[in-house]
């Protein structure tokens, strides 16, 4: 049976120039390189310049992905940006990116699912493509997460960074089999009862302030391992695969120990997990497309391979996407 699939036609990324090391942070809060590396695996993060906005990062990543895919602004029908740190409360960052890129038509909007934001954006774009409404979509995860950090709170400020990653999706014909090229399935979840474990204590409706990130790290960690292992198994089962069939997992990059525990739970060796958090830290919605772009660009991820993206974040939200490149 002939079906429409969303094929991954190009990837792109952008990281702000300024690098902040763990030793740099040890000068402003009571922490150490040793603690941060041991507890999280993070060694450094990129932080946006004062005049650099989420839309600037997103635009640069999008341009790189468009060039990689060989598409022009005229080809883009849809732009979805996953972000928790929009430039402004409105208009959507996606609309600003549309203008920056000179995309003459189509539609553009943001989705907000924190660290799962890229997966929510990807799943949304995939649905529009599969429905036949869109031929070419730009899906971006972009954050200036540093703007939500309390730089006196060592529990949170050492964990995050800024960046953007993007993919171009194009409609392509498939046979409806698990051997097709493109997105095979996406699986999204949310459970708002866990709101208080990871949140920002501000917002337009709550006191007109942006607020700071608050997190019960240990509890989030515990939920992350269980929920991520569950969603990996869900995606594999839905497509008739087992973990042995996976070439790569490209996870959300929150904590090296979460990646190790999840990989053990699902039976995928750590040599098949893409890790960039040592250099990027947790860039929320940007972390998966940044890691994906890194591993495609350095030749680890190759055409024809089966890759699984997975993430979990505030909300809680969590999800996965199984893709054959
Ligand atoms: O992207 C969204 C999802 N987010 C996550 O998945 C994050 C999940 N959680 C984590 O990554 C980990 O829980 C953390 C890295 C945040 C913390 O690691 P932990 O092993 O759970 O440490 P902890 O919170 O239990 O803290 C252990 C100790 C505490 O001291 P006491 O109470 O034992 O004396 C903290 O006060 O480490 C202390 N601590 C620090 N010490 C030095 C907390 N932050 C720091 C720090 N530097 N930056």
Could you read off the pLDDT of 45-68 as tens digits, one per residue?
999 999 999 999 999 999 999 999
Q: Is 140 in the pocket of ligand 1 (CB under 6 A)?
A: no
Task: With a cut of 90, say whether residue 16 has pLDDT above it.
Answer: yes
Report the pLDDT averaged over residues 89-109. Answer: 98
**Distance from the alpha carbon of residue 155 to the mean position of ligand 1, in angstroms:** 6
- pLDDT score recorded for residue 231: 98
CB distance 253 to ligand 1 below 6 Å:
no
Q: Is residue 104 located within the same domain as residue 186?
A: no
pLDDT over 70 percentage in the chain: 100
Please tell me the distance from the alpha carbon of residue 219 to that of residue 79, in angstroms, as a whole number.
Answer: 34
Read off the pLDDT band of 127 (50, 70, 90). very high
Same domain for 116 and 45?
yes
Q: Are residues 214 and 245 in the same domain?
A: yes
pLDDT value, residue 110 = 98
Residue 247, domain CATH: 3.40.47.10
Active-site positions read 115, 252, 282
In this prediction, residue 68 carries a pLDDT of: 98
How many whole angstroms from 35 Cα to the centroid of ligand 1? Answer: 9
Residues 198 and 102 in one domain: no
Q: What is the pLDDT of residue 184?
A: 98
Quick one: 169 and 38 in the same domain? Answer: yes
Whether 89 and 145 map to the same domain: the answer is yes
Instruction: Provide mean pLDDT across the span 175-191.
Output: 98
Question: Ligand 1 atom 5: the closest Cα is on which residue?
Answer: 254
- Does ligand 1 come within 6 angstroms of the Cβ of 31? yes
161 ligand 1 Cβ < 6 A: no
Q: How confident is the model at residue 74 (pLDDT cuts 50, 70, 90)?
A: very high
Q: Is 283 found in the same domain as 212?
A: yes
Residue 282 is classified by DSSP as B
Q: What are the phi and psi torsion angles at 258 (to 5°)? A: -70, -40
pLDDT confidence bin for 83, thresholds 50/70/90 = very high
Q: What is the rounded distance in angstroms from the CA atom of residue 199 to the CA atom of residue 212?
A: 8
For range 216-235, the mean pLDDT: 97
Would the CB of 107 count as within 6 Å of ligand 1?
A: no
Domain count, the chain: 2
Using the mean position of ligand 1's atoms as its centre, give its distance from the Cα of residue 91 in Å: 36
End residue of a domain, out of 153, 174, 195? 174
- Nearest atom, ligand 1, residue 31 CA: 47
Domain final residue, candidates 127, 146, 174: 174
| Residue 282 Cβ contacting ligand 1 at under 6 Å | yes
> What are the distances in angstroms from CA 176 to CA 60, 93, 133?
34, 34, 19
Looking at the CA of residue 224, tell me the nearest atom of ligand 1: 6
For residues 192 and 257, membership in a common domain is answered with yes
Is the CB of residue 115 below 6 angstroms from any atom belonging to ligand 1?
yes
Which residues constitute the domain of residue 209?
Answer: 182-324
- Which among 146, 211, 171, 200 has a CA at the least distance from the CA of 75? 171
Residues 98, 199 within the same domain: no
201 lies in the same domain as 129: no
The mean pLDDT of the chain is: 98
**Would you state the pLDDT for residue 207?**
87
Q: What is the pTM of this model?
A: 0.98
Q: Examine the domain organization and report whether 163 and 192 are in the same domain.
A: no
Q: Which of 174, 195, 211 is the last residue of a domain?
A: 174
| Joined tokens for residue 86 | 């929009």
Q: Distance from the CA of 131 to the center of ligand 1, in angstroms?
A: 44
138 and 76 in a common domain: yes
Q: How far is the CA of 158 from the centre of ligand 1 (A)?
A: 10
Q: In whole angstroms, give the CA distance from residue 200 to residue 305.
A: 38
Note the pLDDT of residue 1: 82
**What integer is the mean pLDDT of 273-285?**
98
What is the arithmetic mean of pLDDT over 274-290?
Answer: 98
């Amino acid at each position: 049976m002939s079906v429409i699939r969303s094929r991954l036609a190009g990837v792109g990324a952008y990281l702000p120039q300024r690098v902040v090391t763990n030793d740099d942070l040890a000068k402003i809060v009571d922490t150490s390189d040793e603690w941060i590396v041991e507890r999280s695996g993070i060694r450094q993060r990129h932080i946006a310049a004062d005049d650099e906005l989420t839309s600037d990062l997103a635009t640069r990543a999008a341009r790189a992905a468009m060039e990689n895919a060989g598409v022009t602004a005229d080809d883009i029908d849809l732009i979805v940006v996953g972000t928790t740190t929009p430039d402004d409360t409105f208009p959507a960052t996606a609309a600003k990116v549309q203008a920056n890129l000179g995309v003459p038509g189509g539609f553009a909007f943001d989705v907000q699912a924190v660290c799962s934001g890229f997966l929510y954006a990807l799943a949304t774009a995939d649905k529009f493509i599969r429905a036949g409404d869109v031929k070419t979509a730009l899906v971006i995860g972009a954050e200036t997460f540093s703007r939500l950090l309390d730089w006196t709170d060592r529990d949170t400020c050492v964990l995050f960074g800024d960046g953007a990653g993007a993919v171009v999706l194009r409609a392509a014909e498939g046979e409806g089999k698990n051997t097709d090229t493109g997105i095979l399935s996406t699986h999204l979840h949310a459970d708002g009862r866990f709101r208080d474990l990871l949140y920002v204590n501000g917002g337009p409706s709550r006191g007109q302030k942006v607020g700071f990130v608050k997190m019960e790290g240990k509890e989030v960690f515990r939920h992350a391992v269980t929920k991520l292992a569950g969603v990996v198994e869900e995606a594999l089962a839905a497509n008739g695969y087992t973990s042995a069939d996976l070439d790569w997992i490209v996870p959300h990059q929150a904590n090296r120990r979460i990646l190790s525990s999840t990989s053990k739970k699902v039976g995928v060796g750590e040599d098949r997990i893409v890790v960039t958090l040592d250099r990027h830290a947790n860039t929320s919605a940007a972390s998966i497309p940044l890691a994906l772009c890194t591993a495609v660009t350095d030749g680890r991820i190759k055409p024809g391979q089966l890759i699984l993206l997975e993430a979990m974040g505030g909300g809680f939200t969590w999800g996965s996407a199984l893709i054959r490149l």
